[in-house]
């Protein structure tokens, strides 16, 4: 194949039940430009790796696999390393359990970007299904999808004011911003362990505007994770939350260095401190209090208060009072 115009980043791990549908939905795309599929498999222990090898052998001019000898344990590292292997000037994104539903999806989005070069990316509407392929009807889960309900132009200002996102991961086609190496994008895996389309969209919004089409052209498979209210699951949730806010702090530091501390960073910094405080109140420990202090020093003193004088304990009391005042 001559150099592809677009690269499809297909991220997978233990997707043996779904990966064929995902790949078929990409291979069915009808385009007037060449594209490649770059598969990042994080050393799946199930049959995923055999399935993708069969597809690679069948479509050697289209499919490339980023091989790993062992699991990275960090899905975002898989995303980063796979992205860096892409040759296209444009990127499309897909996870191995999601799929596309319109064979003209890529062509429609590329046509739009070619006709409107002022946009950095183009997204579209999606549908949510459960693990068994049934439409999601649970209103609580559908609230998650509501975050993506937007139509037309979307800018960084829209994000900061609305709290919405312009499109789900599987709906994005963008210019390959990683080729210009303008920023240190290793923050993608340094600030979060799990695939976060919000972070990728944030990178794009730093570079320009995004346009969301109303066409429904992809499916988001929402797999409800096992858990519950047991002590073990609550403890694990607190551990993940703690790691998330510490990594989020690294992302905010990166934004300050590479872009600017806009309202988004201030809002996120304050929310993360409140989460740290909640974790300490739920499970008091020396380690959790140290997290509160660490988040306070940067998130509150520097980002929120802009280096104005403020003390930890009075600020904690204020946060608690403000919380109760809301109810």
pLDDT tens per residue across span 88-100: 999 999 999 999 9
Q: What are the pLDDT digits (tens) for 65-76?
A: 998 888 877 777
Consecutive H or E run containing 173: strand 173-175
Q: What percent of the chain has pLDDT over 90?
A: 48
Average pLDDT over residues 63-86: 86
Mean pLDDT of 312-317: 88
**Which fold is adopted by the domain 6-221?**
Spore Coat Polysaccharide Biosynthesis Protein SpsA; Chain A (3.90.550)
* pLDDT of amino acid 246: 79
Residues 6 or more apart whose CB falls under 8 angstroms from that of 201 comprise: 121, 165, 166, 167, 172, 210
Q: Is the pLDDT of residue 207 over 70?
A: yes
What average pLDDT does the segment 81-86 reach?
93
The distance from CA 140 to its chain's CA centroid, rounded to whole angstroms, is: 20
Q: Is the pLDDT of residue 52 over 70?
A: yes
Neighbours of 38 (CB within 10 A): 23
* DSSP strands (E only) in 34-103: 35-41, 63-66, 90-95, 99-100
**What's the pLDDT score for residue 16?**
95
With 50 as the cut, is the pLDDT of residue 233 above it?
A: no
- Asked whether the predicted pLDDT for residue 142 surpasses 60, the reply is yes
Q: What is the pLDDT of residue 195?
A: 52
- The helix or strand, by DSSP H or E, that contains position 174, with its residue range, turns out to be strand 173-175
How many C-beta neighbours within 10 Å does residue 126 have? 21
Confidence of residue 57 (pLDDT cuts 50, 70, 90): very high
194 has a pLDDT exceeding 60: no
Domain regions of the chain by residue span? 6-221, 231-326
| Reported confidence tier of residue 224, pLDDT bands at 50, 70, 90 | low
* Predicted local confidence at residue 262, as pLDDT: 74
Q: Report the 10 Å Cβ neighbour count for 138.
A: 12
Residue 235 has pLDDT above 60, yes or no: no
Question: What is the chain's mean pLDDT, rounded?
Answer: 86
Quick one: pLDDT at residue 238?
A: 58
191 band by pLDDT with thresholds 50, 70 and 90: low
Biggest distance spanned by C-alpha atoms of the chain:
65
Where residue 134 falls (left for φ over 0; alpha for ψ -120 to 50; beta otherwise) is beta
Confidence at residue 199, expressed as pLDDT on a 0 to 100 scale? 77
User: What is d(CA 185, CA 181) in angstroms, rounded to the nearest whole number?
Assistant: 8
Q: Which of 108-122, 143-157, 222-236, 260-274 has the highest mean pLDDT?
A: 108-122
Question: 18 φ, ψ to 5°?
Answer: -120, -20
Pick from 73, 71, 85: which is nearest to 10 by CA? Answer: 85
Are the CB atoms for 107 and 30 separated by under 8 Å? yes
CA proximity to 300, closest of 324, 277, 325: 277
The token pair at 161 is 């004011």
Identify the CA nearest to 221 among candidates 128, 102, 125: 128
- Report residue 321 as tokens: 């009072």
123: three-class secondary structure by DSSP: strand
């Amino acid at each position: 194949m001559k150099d592809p115009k677009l690269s499809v980043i297909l991220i997978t791990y233990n997707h043996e039940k779904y990966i064929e549908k995902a790949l078929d939905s990409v291979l069915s795309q009808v385009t007037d430009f060449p594209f490649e599929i770059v598969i990042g498999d994080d050393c799946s222990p199930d049959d995923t790796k055999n399935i993708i090898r069969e597809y690679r052998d069948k479509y050697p001019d289209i499919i490339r696999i980023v091989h790993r000898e062992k699991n990275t344990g960090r899905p975002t590292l898989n995303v980063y390393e796979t992205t860096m292997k892409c040759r296209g000037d444009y990127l499309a994104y897909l996870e191995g359990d999601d799929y596309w539903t319109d064979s003209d999806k890529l062509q429609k989005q590329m046509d739009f970007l070619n006709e409107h070069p002022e946009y950095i990316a183009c997204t579209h509407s999606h549908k949510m299904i459960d693990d068994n392929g049934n439409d999601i009807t649970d209103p609580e889960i559908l609230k998650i999808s509501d975050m993506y309900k937007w139509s037309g132009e979307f800018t960084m200002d829209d994000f900061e004011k609305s709290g919405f996102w312009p499109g789900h991961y599987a709906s994005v086609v963008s210019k390959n911003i990683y080729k210009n190496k303008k920023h240190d994008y290793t923050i993608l895996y340094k600030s979060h362990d799990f695939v976060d389309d919000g972070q990728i969209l944030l990178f794009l919004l730093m570079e320009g505007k995004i346009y969301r089409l109303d066409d429904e052209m992809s499916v988001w498979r929402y797999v409800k994770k096992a858990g519950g209210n047991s002590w073990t699951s609550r403890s694990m949730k607190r551990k993940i939350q703690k790691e998330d806010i510490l990594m989020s702090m690294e992302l905010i530091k990166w934004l300050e260095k590479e872009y600017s501390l806009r309202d988004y960073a201030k809002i996120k910094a304050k929310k993360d401190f409140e989460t740290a405080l909640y974790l300490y109140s739920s499970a008091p420990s020396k380690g959790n209090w140290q997290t509160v202090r660490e988040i306070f020093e940067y998130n509150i003193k520097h980002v929120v208060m802009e280096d104005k004088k403020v003390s930890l304990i009075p600020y904690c009391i204020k946060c608690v009072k403000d919380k109760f005042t809301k109810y």
